[in-house]
Amino acid sequence: MTRYALAAKFKHNLGAIEQFGDAATFLTTCIVEYSLIGAAVMFIQWKSIACTSNNRHNEEKVKRKYKMRIDCSSSSTGFFAGIIFVIAAFVSMGMYAVFEELRNSRGAQLLFGIVDLSMFCMTLGACLIGLWRMRVLQYRIYAHGEVIDEILLIIGLVGEIVYCVIGMDIFIATKQVKIDLSLLPAFVFTCRLIQVTVQATFILITSRLRCLSPDAIKNKPGKQIITFLLVANTTLFVFHTYEGMKSSFDISDYGGITYINTIYVVTPLLVFYRFHSSACLAEIWKHTYSTKSHEIGSSAQTFSESSLTMETINSSSTISKIHNYTY
């Protein structure tokens, strides 16, 4: 059978893992995430060198950022659904610890498999419902965040895809030898692959949506889903970190050392994908339903109309004066 976390197989090769134990897996993930974010930031800085910008516009934008306003309306249902998601995840982690204490590895593996499948199905359904609900919002070419957010999201997505494809390949190779092998890993990998692809598409699309129409500003369609996905991805970040320290499925020797090394390399990207997805969803939650830009546009339009009215009045008074002087 297959396994999500592969660090345990290399414990005898890495001295750091012998020193820190299971925490070494988490620390390795942090190192990879730090290096990845640092490289992306350096790339953006290199790209922005010698680029001219409107300094006055930037100064006004910085002044406006001193005042932060967060609208938490239309978020309660999604938040409480996310709380249930968090409770289920932590209960499953506790049950896994109990199974591990009882030396029941088969029960622990089955538990993690069922929980993984349930979580991926729930988040996949939330993404599809969110796309349907947010179809009424206005689409804009430019996203809320920076290009770096999209770059990091795609890098994490590539890691997830490589991981799922290799896991499916190992499962198929093992299935040809062990006929009585459970089909649960196949369902988990397939659902996970679909979920991460749909969620990445969901984030890339919704980051360009704006809530501008009066009806959309009033109802805020899709904000409950965004709230739930934000909490769910934060939970999956913690869950995958814990899962990376433990074994959820046994490693098969049929995959070969090349597959094992490849999965060991991309494993930190799995945690990073959930971490960065949470950051992107928080950005969407904050800016998509914000009425600040809409209010600024309305004020500018009102000011223009007032100026036009004053100019019309002044022109009329000038004409009347000329008329009086003539007569």
Q: What is the pLDDT along the chain (327 residues), one digit of tens a residue?
A: 444 444 444 444 555 555 665 666 677 778 888 888 888 888 888 877 866 655 555 555 555 555 656 666 667 788 899 999 999 999 998 888 888 888 777 888 888 889 999 999 999 999 999 999 988 888 877 665 667 888 889 999 999 999 999 888 888 887 777 766 778 888 999 999 999 999 999 999 998 888 888 887 788 888 899 999 999 999 999 888 887 776 555 544 455 677 777 777 888 888 899 999 999 999 888 888 876 644 444 444 433 344 434 444 444 454 444 344 444
Structure token pair of residue 199: 């969620």
Distance, in Å, from the CA atom of 183 to the CA atom of 139, rounded to the nearest integer, reads 41
Instruction: Give the orientation angle of helix 256-287 with respect to helix 223-245, to 10 degrees.
Output: 150
Amino acid, single-letter form, for residue 68 = M
The contacts of residue 145 (CB under 8 Å, 6+ apart) are 207, 280, 283
Closest CA to 271 of 304, 297, 238, 302: 238
Instruction: Determine the 3-state secondary structure of 210 from DSSP.
Output: strand
Q: How many Å from the N-terminal Cα to the C-terminal Cα in the chain? A: 103
What CA–CA distance (Å, rounded) separates 277 from 283? 10
Residue 149: per-residue pLDDT: 85
Q: Tell me: the pLDDT tens digits for 57-101?
A: 555 555 555 565 666 666 778 889 999 999 999 999 888 888 888
Given the DSSP bridges, would you call strands 138-139 and 209-210 parallel, antiparallel or unpaired?
A: antiparallel
- Alpha carbon 157 to chain centroid distance? 10
| Phi, psi dihedrals of residue 210, rounded to the nearest 5° | -130, 145
- Sign of the C-alpha dihedral computed for residues 195, 198, 201 and 207 taken in this order: negative
* Per-residue burial over 126-143, b = 16 or more CB atoms within 10 Å of its CB, e = otherwise: bbeebbebbeebeeeeeb
Structure tokens at 3: 């396994």
CB 199 within 8 A of CB 123: yes
pTM of the full structure? 0.76
CB distance 205 to 301 below 8 Å: no
Q: Is 38 exposed, middle or buried (0-12, 13-18, 19+ CB in 10 A)?
A: exposed
Determine contact, residues 240/133, Cβ cutoff 8 Å: no
Q: What angle do CA 310, 314, 320 make, to 5 degrees?
A: 145
